[in-house]
C-alpha cells in the first residue's frame, strides 16, 4: 500500500514536464513573432522582388 503514495510523490517532484511546456511556449512565441515580422515585411519584400524582376528581364531577353 505504500507504493502508491511513493509514486505520487515522485510524480509531483518531477519537473521535466514543466520544462517541456516552457520550451513549447517559447517556441510558440518565437513563431508568432516570426509571423508578425513576415506580415509587416510582406508588402515591402514583394516590391523588392518586383523591382528585381524588372531589372533582370531585359538581360534575360538578350540572352534568349
Per-residue pLDDT tens over the stretch 21-53: 889 999 999 999 988 888 887 767 778 888 889
Q: Is the pLDDT of residue 64 over 60?
A: no
What's the pLDDT at 33?
Answer: 93
Confidence of residue 13 (pLDDT cuts 50, 70, 90): confident
pTM: 0.47
* Higher pLDDT, residue 63 or 14: 14
Pick from 34, 30, 10: which is nearest to 22 by CA? 30
CA distances from 64 to 5, 10, 49, 50, 60 (A): 79, 72, 22, 21, 6
Amino acid at each position: 500500500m505504500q507504493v502508491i503514495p511513493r509514486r505520487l510523490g515522485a510524480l509531483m517532484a518531477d519537473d521535466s514536464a514543466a520544462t517541456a511546456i516552457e520550451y513549447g511556449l517559447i517556441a510558440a512565441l518565437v513563431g508568432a513573432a516570426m509571423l508578425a515580422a513576415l506580415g509587416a515585411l510582406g508588402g515591402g519584400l514583394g516590391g523588392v522582388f518586383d523591382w528585381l524582376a524588372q531589372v533582370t528581364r531585359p538581360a534575360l531577353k538578350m540572352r534568349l
